[in-house]
Amino acid sequence: MRGRGAWRVRDALAFASRELGLAGVGEPAREARRLLGFAFLESFPPLGPEERLPPFFSRRFRSLVTCRARGVPLPLIEGRVGFLDFELKVRPGVFIPRPETEELAERAVALARRLPPRPRALDLGTGTGALAIAIARARPDIRVLAVDRSPTALACAAWNARALGLEDRLQLRASNWFSRVEGRFHLIVSNPPYVRHGELLSLPREVRGFEPKAALDGGKDGLEAIKHILTHAPEHLYPGGWLLLEIGAGQGEEVMRFALDRVGLVETKLERDIAGKERFFLARCR
Ligand SMILES: C[S@@+](CC[C@H](N)C(=O)[O-])C[C@H]1O[C@@H](n2cnc3c(N)ncnc32)[C@H](O)[C@@H]1O
């Protein structure tokens, strides 16, 4: 680099890949290219490797690389994340949907397609609205209620629902799990907080430092929210209705036992994610 204004694209990318790699970011070269695109607000035609970056964009790129190297997740820098075949706005204070959540959403969509006409679905702890939106997009006749305790999450989910034209069929409500939920549903889905309280500090820096604690903390055994949802789900499901949950790796056995012995759910099933970890719990109401 000969001066900040004279950075060549090739050199800027090499610098960013090195900085991100040293900071422990996975796939540093790919992320460097993403950040460069974002620094340009994606409004410029792509520059060749020998072209020079205008000074404003060099400074912007450098500061984005610094943010990312400090652990700010890429979706928070870009303000959005791809989810299935659509895009979600994300913002600080709202959980960024993970690849596992996409797998959960695929299962929820498959179930939603099997429901009777004009069904109702409930998403507990909706965050960006990812699951509720995936379900609403899958069936034009479905009505979805999505709740969260976080006003920041609800505002973000409302924005996403509006942007995707779903505000008529996706209702958002502040609720402490079922506290403000009335009536029964054909499908209840949730990706609740399930990390053991004592393990929060050992989560990766990006998660620990930038995700809301309320989205992660599952209490002493990690199962507080899951057990609460399991206990109250039958009061809110139609007979034969489905409950689909994301759970933590290693929690399957206890979740199964609790669901069968204490709650009386039937057709209980555990499924693994693509990494081979027990991740999804499925059951039906009698
Ligand atoms: C792991 S995040 C999941 C967000 C979103 N469903 C997803 O999969 O991307 C858990 C969500 O549950 C919400 N939450 C935590 N405690 C809650 C409670 N008592 N009642 C309602 N929502 C709660 C958090 O605010 C957060 O948005």
- Domain with residue 216: its CATH number is 3.40.50.150
Q: What percent of the chain has pLDDT over 90?
A: 88
Q: Same domain for 114 and 61?
A: no
Q: Same domain for 217 and 138?
A: yes
Q: Same domain for 168 and 233?
A: yes
Residues 131 and 104: beta-carbon distance below 8 Å: yes
Ligand 1 pocket residues where CB is under 6 Å: 95, 97, 101, 125-128, 130-131, 147-150, 153, 175-177, 191-193, 214-215
CA–CA dist 190, 244 (Å, integer): 7
Q: Same domain for 171 and 268?
A: yes
pLDDT digits (tens, 9 = 90+) for 188-206: 999 999 999 999 999 999 9
Q: Is residue 95 flagged as an active site residue? A: yes
Residues 53 and 97: beta-carbon distance below 8 Å: no
Catalytic residue among 73, 191, 258, 281: 191
Residue 53 located in a structural domain? yes
Q: Same domain for 48 and 111?
A: no
Q: What is the 6 CA–ligand 1 centroid distance (Å)?
A: 46
CA–CA dist 72, 35 (Å, integer): 12
Residues 239 and 256: beta-carbon distance below 8 Å: no
* pLDDT computed for residue 224 by the predictor: 98
Cβ contacts of 18 within 8 Å, gap of 6 or more: 28
Residue 54 located in a structural domain? yes
Q: Same domain for 115 and 26?
A: no
CA–CA dist 264, 284 (Å, integer): 9
pTM (two decimals): 0.94
Q: Same domain for 124 and 266?
A: yes
> What is the mean predicted confidence (pLDDT) over 137-161?
98
Catalytic residue among 95, 178, 258, 280: 95
Q: Same domain for 42 and 128?
A: no
Residues 184 and 120: beta-carbon distance below 8 Å: yes
Cβ contacts of 131 within 8 Å, gap of 6 or more: 101, 104, 105, 108, 123, 146, 189, 190, 191
Q: Is residue 92 flagged as an active site residue? A: no
For the chain, the domain total comes to 2
Q: Same domain for 101 and 236?
A: yes
| 7: its two tokens | 């950075």
Residues 245 and 190: beta-carbon distance below 8 Å: yes
| 178: its two tokens | 């079922």
Nearest-CA residue for ligand 1 atom 24 is 215
Cβ contacts of 110 within 8 Å, gap of 6 or more: none
Count the Cβ atoms, other than its own, within 10 Å of residue 221: 14
> Among the atoms of ligand 1, which is closest to the Cα of residue 179?
20
Residue 80 located in a structural domain? no
| Residues spanned by the domain of 37 | 4-70
Strand pairing class (185-190; 86-89): unpaired
* pLDDT computed for residue 2 by the predictor: 44
pLDDT digits (tens, 9 = 90+) for 49-80: 888 888 888 999 999 999 999 999 999 999 99
User: Which helix (H) or strand (E) covers residue 187, if one does?
Assistant: strand 185-190
Cβ contacts of 203 within 8 Å, gap of 6 or more: 195, 216
Nearest Cα neighbor of 205 from 44, 33, 26 is 26
Q: Same domain for 143 and 103?
A: yes
Residue 75 located in a structural domain? no
* pLDDT computed for residue 99 by the predictor: 93
> Look-up: residue for tokens 């007979």?
239
Q: What is the 33 CA–ligand 1 centroid distance (Å)?
A: 32
Q: Find the range with the poorest average confidence among 232-241, 258-267, 269-278.
A: 258-267
Q: Same domain for 154 and 278?
A: yes
Q: Is residue 83 flagged as an active site residue? A: no
Residue 76 located in a structural domain? no
Residues 268 and 233: beta-carbon distance below 8 Å: no
CA 217 to chain centre: 15
Amino acid at 166: L
> Among the atoms of ligand 1, which is closest to the Cα of residue 194?
1
Q: What is the 143 CA–ligand 1 centroid distance (Å)?
A: 20
Strand pairing class (120-124; 86-89): unpaired
Q: What is the 141 CA–ligand 1 centroid distance (Å)?
A: 25
CA–CA dist 211, 11 (Å, integer): 32
